[in-house]
Structures are given as structure tokens and as C-alpha cells.
Amino acid sequence: MSAYLEIPIPPTSEHLWRYSPWKRVHPAAVNTIPKAQPLAISGGDLFKAVIRGSDEIARSFIHSIAQCQELVLANEDLVIDIKASGHVAAGELKIVAKGHCTLVINLMGEASWAGLRVVGEVLPASSLSIALINELSRESRILRVEDWLVGKDASLELSTLSAGGSYCKSDLRVVLSAKGSEFRGAVASHGTGKRHDDHHFEIQHAAGYTTSGLTIHAACDDNSRAIATGLLKIDSDCDGSNAGQIFRNLLLSEKSRADSIPELEVLSDDVKAAHGAASAPISVEQLHYLMSRGLAKSSAEALIVEGFLMDAFIKDIRSQKVVAAMRTALLSHLDCLVS
């Protein structure tokens, strides 16, 4: 694996860095490796671990400044807090799931820049449903990278509520490695002020009779911007695969922006693969209906946004514990904005 300083800075012509250039994601000058405080992780039994470096620049950078810890889940439901403090904070987390597990991650703190790298595996015949709630301060920037391997007859759910931080870059990759592997992803992103939120997914069907679904809903207000890019790869000799992705954007102001770029790369014949994207302003009829029932405009808009964002989880996420955690966090976030 190459050291970070040996990796060329990726050009903005690369799909991954088109909307969030590396020089804006890096916490300092791109040819430097700053000192970082470790992310404080509490709520579970963690062990020191070692994971490999990477030739991909974001993963290599976090690897160069972070400490690695391992979390093993076995037929359990767990809530952990990850707190980022100081100027630069970073951590690597290895997750292994066996049996049927639920994990809620609360990402919080006042760090100017936070970097989180996750390397995870769902063992055969197991299931893991994760809720990541981004509650970082409004001044924070975050880089999040994840790599997941899903085994035979195993399932992974990744749910994200992205409401914290000012500049957010996420690169999440999932490999469905064997027959019966399944992935469901759901993201709800809420932008206010000048918030910039960029989610990139790569989902690889490396075996036949695998299933994946990805839903991303973004509500953008003020001068905020949301980007969603998704690449679905179905390798050769992977007949029976079923993949789909849907991106929806709710534009709450004239200056807000949303970009949705779904992609398919299909090398097998007998598969189902679909994608779609749509953007629209808030419904005048819905707003009028709620205000005619006595709600103030801000409360009516918050209720519409809540329903729109929660819909990303309700449709595809099977874990009711994860859906409940997302609803509680979203209501708290919107209540703070309204008040």
C-alpha cells in the first residue's frame, strides 16, 4: 500500500472528486500530514486492531493519522457515541458482525475536521443494520469512508441521517461477495445555510443472485448543496442479480442546489437493474393545506421536510429500531431549527 504523500492528488475530472475536490476535503495543505486527536468511542467493548492501508487517497490519509479499534458484534443491539474534539480528529473502526445485530452510531463533537474510516464485514448468514447520525457542530468538516464485505446469505443495512457539519464528504463502498448477499442503503440529508453534503456510493455485485437497493433523499434550504453519486456494478457471470437506486431532492429555496448522478455498469445479461432521480420544490398545495389548519409556515415546512426525509428509511429499512432512532434524531434536529 502506498503512503499518503506518495499518492497523486486526484483531479476534479475523477467522478469521486468532481464536486468536492481533495484540496477542500483535506484539513490543511494537501502535502502535509497534521497531527490528529483520536476519536473518542464509547458504549461498546473495543479492542486495538490493525487494518491495511490503501492506495485511495482519502483512506490512506485517515490511515496515516488515525488509531484503529475493532468492534465485534454477536447477536446484539448496541449504541455507541463517537466524539470528535480538537482541531483535527480521526479514527479507524473495524466492525465484524455475526448473528443478527443492530448498531446505532451517534457522531458528535466540536472538532474543526473529523475523519472516520470504517472497514466492516457481515459474516455468512448474518445481518447487520446500522444507523449513523451525524450531529457534528455546524462549523465542523467531515470525511467519512467505509468499505463493507457482505457474505453468503448475509444482509447489510446502512442508514445515515446527515444534518451536522458544514462540509461533508462520504465515500461508501459495498461488495456483495456471495450468493444471497443483500444490501440496503438509505440516506436523509438536510441542508441549511451554506452546508455542502456529498455522498458517493459504489455497490458491487460480485456474485449472482445478490440484491441491492439505495435511496437518498436530500432537502436543501438557503444556499446549501447536496450531491449524490451512485455506481452500481454487476460483474460478469452474476446472473440473477437485482439492483436499484433512487435519488430524490426537495429544494426549499431558489438558491439551493442538488445534483444526482446514478450510474449502472452491468456485465451480466440476466439481471434487473434500475435507477432514477428527481428534484422538485416544496408543494404549494401541501404547504397551504397545513397552514390552513393553523400551522405557522416554518412549522408546516418542517413537517413536510420530516415526512420527506423519513420516507427514505421507511421504504427500505427493515430494522424498526434503526427507523425509530432516525425518527427521534430527525425530530430533535428539526425542532431545534424551528425554535
Give 210-256 pLDDT, tens digit per residue.
999 999 999 999 999 999 998 999 999 999 999 999 999 999 999 99
Domain limits at 20? 4-282
SS3 content of the chain, % helix, strand, coil (to 5): 20, 50, 30
* The predicted structure's pLDDT at residue 281: 92
Confidence of residue 88 (pLDDT cuts 50, 70, 90): very high
Say if 86 falls within a structural domain. Answer: yes
With b for 16 or more beta-carbon neighbours within 10 A and e for fewer, the 123-138 pattern comes to: beebbbbbbbbbbbee
- 26, 60 Cβ separation under 8 angstroms: no
Question: What is the percent of the chain where pLDDT is above 70?
Answer: 99
Grid cell listed for 63: 490511515
Confidence of residue 161 (pLDDT cuts 50, 70, 90): very high
Asked if pLDDT for residue 134 goes beyond 90, the answer is yes
Distance CA 168, CA 64 (A): 20
293 CB-contact burial (10 Å; exposed 0-12 / middle 13-18 / buried 19+): exposed
Lowest mean pLDDT: which of 80-89, 102-111, 234-243, 330-339?
Answer: 330-339
**Is residue 304 included in any domain, yes or no?**
no
Which residues pair with residue 127 across a beta bridge?
100, 155
Q: Would 320 be classed as within a structural domain?
A: no
Residue 315 included in any domain: no
pLDDT value of position 338? 64
Report the largest interatomic distance among the alpha carbons of the chain, rounded to a whole angstrom: 61
**Confidence band (pLDDT; 50, 70, 90) for 339?**
low
State residue 248's pLDDT score.
Answer: 97
Q: What is the DSSP string of 79-95?
A: EEEEEE-SSEEEEEEEE
- Model confidence band, residue 15 (pLDDT cutoffs 50, 70, 90): confident
Instruction: Say what the pLDDT of residue 297 is.
Output: 86
Q: Residue 59 has what pLDDT?
A: 98
Q: What is the pLDDT of residue 176?
A: 98
In a domain, 324, yes or no: no
Cell digits for 94? 473495524
pLDDT tens per residue across span 170-183: 999 999 999 999 99
Q: Is residue 174 part of a domain?
A: yes
Within-domain flag for 113: yes
C-alpha cell at 120: 466492516
Q: How many domains does the chain have?
A: 1
Q: What is the pLDDT of residue 270?
A: 94
- φ, ψ of residue 329 to 5 degrees: the values are -65, -40
The pLDDT of residue 169 is above 90: yes
**Residue 284: its pLDDT value, please?**
87
**Are the beta carbons of 265 and 234 closer than 8 angstroms?**
yes
For the segment 257-285, what is each residue's pLDDT rounded down to a tens digit?
999 998 999 999 999 999 999 999 988 89
- Mean pLDDT value across residues 37-49: 94
Q: Is residue 322 situated within a structural domain?
A: no
Q: Which of 230, 159, 222, 227 is nearest to 191 (CA)?
A: 222
Give the DSSP H or E segment for 246: strand 242-251
